[in-house]
Amino acid sequence: MTKEELSSLYFLNREIEMLNERLSELERASTGASSSITGMPRGCGINDIVLRYACKIHDLKLLIDQRIRECFIERERLERFIQEVPDSEMRMILTLRYINGLSFQQIAYSIGYQDESVPRKRHERFLKRMEEKQIKPRCGQAAG
């Protein structure tokens, strides 16, 4: 598994945060478009604006729900991969980094190191070994 594949959950979570911020903006804007009851007849323009906001909000909520489902699937995939890693410390580093989204400094403190370079370097070596395993041809196959 590549670093990009491992990072996909992080970016899905950030995307959901962005979409939720956009949803909040739309909801705030839609309340500003609501009409007040005055008893006076009004044109139909205000209803069109409210309807447009309602449609955008609905579509955005559907998109957020879809991304949340993708997050659950991606998290399960990452957890299955991490469970297969034989080294306990590396499983902790991978979980803290890619499932919990911690920085290497936070990871270092969590597993008992003061220097963030220890888990970062171990992580880099692990990814490099993973990359080498994926590139090597299987027995009986020629490289090419």
How do residues 47-70 score in pLDDT, each as one tens digit? Answer: 778 888 899 999 999 999 999 999
Q: Please give the pLDDT value at position 60.
A: 96
Give whole-number Cα distances, 17 to 22, 36, 73, 76, 100, in Å: 9, 32, 18, 20, 15
Q: Please give the pLDDT value at position 49.
A: 82
Q: Measured between alpha carbons, how far is 78 from 11 in angstroms, rounded to an integer?
A: 14
Query: Which residue is associated with the tokens 């491992």?
Result: 6
pTM for this predicted structure: 0.73
71-120 pLDDT, tens per residue? Answer: 999 999 999 999 999 999 999 999 999 999 999 999 999 999 999 999 99
Query: Which residue is associated with the tokens 């990009």?
Result: 4
Helix (H, G, I), strand (E, B) or coil at 112: coil
Angle, CA of 79, 122 and 15, to the nearest 5°:
45
Residues in CB range of 20: below 8 A, 6 or more apart: 64
Q: Please give the pLDDT value at position 132.
A: 86
Residue 143 predicted with pLDDT over 70: no
DSSP class of residue 84? Answer: T
* pLDDT confidence band for 30 (50 / 70 / 90): confident
